[in-house]
Amino acid sequence: MSSSPSAAGSTAKPLRWLIYQCGIDVFSWGVAILLGLVLRYELTVDTINWTGFALYFGLAILSQLAIGYAAGLYRGKYPFGSFDELRLLIVVIGSVTVILVLTSVFFGLTIDVPRSSGVIAFPFACLFMASARYLKRMYVEGKARPRAAAQRVLVFGAGFLGTSLVHQMMHDPTGQYQVVGMVDDDPHKKYLRVASVPVVGTSRSLPDLVRQHRADIVVVAMAQPDPALLRRVNEQLADAGTRLLQMPRLQELLTHEAGGLTAQLTEVKVEDLLGRTPVDLDVPSLRSYIEGKRILVTGAGGSIGSEICRHVAELNPEELILLERDESAMQATLISLTGSGLLTGSETVLADIRDSDALEEIFTARRPEVVFHAAALKHVPLLEQYPLEAWKTNVLGTANVLRASINTGVETFVNISTDKAADPSTALGHAKRLGERLTAWAAGVTGQRYVSVRFGNVIGSRGSVLPLFTQQIERGGPVTVTDERVERYFMTIPEATSLVLQAGAVGRGGEVLILDMGHPVKIIDVARQLIALSGKDIEIELTGLRPGEKLTEVLVTEEEELTTPFHPLIAHAPVPPLAPQDLSLDLFRQGRASHPVTEALRVAQRPRSGR
């Protein structure tokens, strides 16, 4: 059976390469041994025994090829012309030298070659073989020329990732990138060249370097760049019209299936500028209370609720129940889970947590063992106008979900709260604080793990400031900020989800769990960073603080005693319990006249038999 032309070509190329390598080394040993003999005889060629030279040379060739092949030198163990190959080459040449010296010692009279000739030949053999390889590598790298339409790239970072990226870009068969220089703040790398690409300056002169080299892209090639550095670079490029890209995180590099480094370059996002890193999930502890269990998620169509559903689905629950009153949001979550949006399966439940009778029917029929309570109203200005809606959903709705959980024997209940529940000053904050206290009461009644989690603004969630700013930027501005002094804690959706799931594993009944969120960030700085990322000239308009709004949120109150018994970034604090029958609008009032207690409220507060 004949081979195809492509197969024959692919076989012939490695064979030619092997012959080339072996030819280099054979020639190098011949010249090295000859120089060794000439130097040993003090440049007197007449005294050389040419028969002995031929035997000595033949022994060197056989030893080099045999040892080199066994060690992988001629089988592509390391990239051609690399430092790794150089180290292996020296080991092989050293082994051959030992053989030559021992042969001279024991058979010196037979071959008539001085013992020192092999030692003298050793550095010359190393020099010739290494030089030939490096020249070949320079030739190959010099042939790599990008297409005329290639994007001009400055690589920021001349470390391992940066040099690896430069090498790949220089050898990219598509030729879509042309590396015009590297940037690094390390003074020791001032004169460094990588694949003929020089380090052209430091980050302080980045705007000038971008103009000088007409760069289209700046790539930050660092494993975990400092957010402050990213912010500074982003601001420097704001007026240059240059894209800012970055390398993915190490975990993403290891799990990415194809494409190499250049295919994994990503745009710098605002969460990278804020420096938020998701908390690593303790998967074994999560499996212990989720795998094989019936899980119910309220508010399954929301930003946090849908992310919880996706994580839970990966932990092999017996059943995942999505409870939501917004049918479109529920459909979107279902599509992300199953790829189908038919809404005909038993996993989707359309209900409102305000409807206590509906919840009782659902919980009695489905018997969930773990509940994640993410359903809530969360827009501060709107709830300030309609505080009774916050009361009905975030307080009474939470009481309804807790009551149904207690009556059906739910083992783990995680209530999602907010940093606004600490020293609350808004309708949202007061409602969420009461929700925490209700959850603590349920923990005392059941003796089970009923806990709350408290975190700040979630980057990218619906209703958060980032989507609002993004929309305002897309419309051409202005971007509205209440006050230039306002600061908030920020976290990513994966961080928030990690905290919620981890709380179900490590939380103790009646506690609120709080993530270490670092330092608060000025809202106006976030606006400026988003504007810089957009590359547009957008104005920022200050609108003034809204009723009940604080300049700086707090994560805990002065009365709360924090401990970190299980995770260094997750603090625990006890919450004073509050029974549903003790609820009143007076607890919820914020200096305004009490709203009339509705009949629905009295029904929700009325004790039920068997509870």
List the beta strands (DSSP E) in 149-237: 151-156, 177-183, 193-194, 197-201, 217-220
Q: In the prediction, which pLDDT does 106 show?
A: 80
Top pLDDT among 560 and 405 is at 405
What does the alpha-carbon distance between residue 135 and residue 137 come to, in Å, rounded to a whole number? 5
**Rounded mean pLDDT, 331-359:** 92
Give the Å distances, CA to CA, from 450 to 334, 340, 395.
27, 33, 16
Provide φ and ψ at 167, rounded to 5°: -60, -45
pLDDT band at 13 (very low <50, low <70, confident <90, very high): low
pTM of the predicted model as reported, rounded to 2 decimal places: 0.63
SS3 content of the chain, % helix, strand, coil (to 5): 50, 15, 35
Residue type, 242: T
For residue 408, give Cα distances in angstroms to 296, 405, 572, 611.
12, 5, 27, 10
Q: Please tell me the distance from the alpha carbon of residue 55 to that of residue 53, in angstroms, as a whole number.
A: 6
What confidence tier does 176 reach under pLDDT thresholds 50, 70, 90?
confident
**What's the CA angle centered on 301, arms 334 and 321, to 5 degrees?**
60
| Cα distances (angstroms) measured from residue 493 to each of 313, 324, 455, 520, 598 | 17, 19, 11, 17, 36
pLDDT tens readout for residues 491-518: 777 778 887 888 888 899 999 998 777 6
Q: Give the tens place of pLDDT for each residue, 282-306.
A: 667 788 899 999 999 999 999 899 9
Q: pLDDT at residue 322 above 80?
A: yes
What residue spans in the chain does CATH classification 3.40.50.720 cover? 151-268, 288-460+491-520+557-605
pLDDT at 435: 96
Q: Which has the higher per-residue pLDDT, 440 or 266?
A: 440
Angle, in degrees to the nearest 10, between helices 427-446 and 398-407: 10
In angstroms, the CA 295 to CA 3 distance is 58
pLDDT at 249: 60
Residue 459: pLDDT over 90: no
What does the pLDDT average to over 343-358?
94
Q: What CA–CA distance (Å, rounded) separates 419 from 315? A: 28
Question: Out of 3.40.50.720, 3.40.640.10, 3.90.550.10, 3.30.70.360, which CATH number does the structure's domain 288-460+491-520+557-605 have?
Answer: 3.40.50.720
Q: According to the model, what pLDDT value does residue 380 have?
A: 86
- Across the range 107-125, mean pLDDT stands at 80
Residue 184 confidence (pLDDT): 92
The torsion angles phi and psi of 316, rounded to 5 degrees, stand at 55, 55
Residues 6+ apart with CB under 8 A from 120: 35, 36, 39, 40
pLDDT, position 347: 92
Q: What is the mean pLDDT of residues 355-380?
A: 95
Surface-to-core class of residue 410, CB atoms within 10 Å of its CB (0-12 exposed, 13-18 middle, 19+ buried): buried
Instruction: Render pLDDT for 559-572 as a digit per residue (tens, 0 to 9).
Output: 888 888 887 778 89
CB-CB contact of 416 with 353 (8 Å): no
Residue-level pLDDT at 596? 36
Residue 351 has pLDDT above 90, yes or no: yes
Residue 186 confidence (pLDDT) above 50: yes
**Residue 560 vs residues 245, 422, 445, 456, 510: alpha-carbon distances, Å:** 42, 9, 22, 17, 13
**Amino acid in the structure at residue 476:** G
Kindly give the pairing relationship between strand 449-454 and strand 197-201.
unpaired
DSSP 8-state assignment for residue 368: -
Question: Cβ distance 321 to 313 under 8 Å?
Answer: no
Phi/psi at 552 (5° precision): -135, 130
Residue 330 pLDDT grade (very low, low, confident, very high; cuts 50, 70, 90): very high
H/E run at residue 438: helix 427-446
Partner residues linked to 533 by β-bridges: none
What's the confidence (pLDDT) of residue 497? Answer: 85
How large is the average pLDDT for residues 179-188?
90
Written as six digits, the tokens of 140 are 């190959």
Q: Which of 36-40, 181-185, 344-348, 363-367 has the lowest average pLDDT?
A: 36-40
**Cβ atoms of residues 142 and 159 within 8 Å:** no
Q: What is the mean pLDDT of residues 390-412?
A: 96
Q: Which residue has the higher pLDDT, 88 or 8?
A: 88
Q: Please give the CATH number for the structural domain made up of 151-268.
A: 3.40.50.720
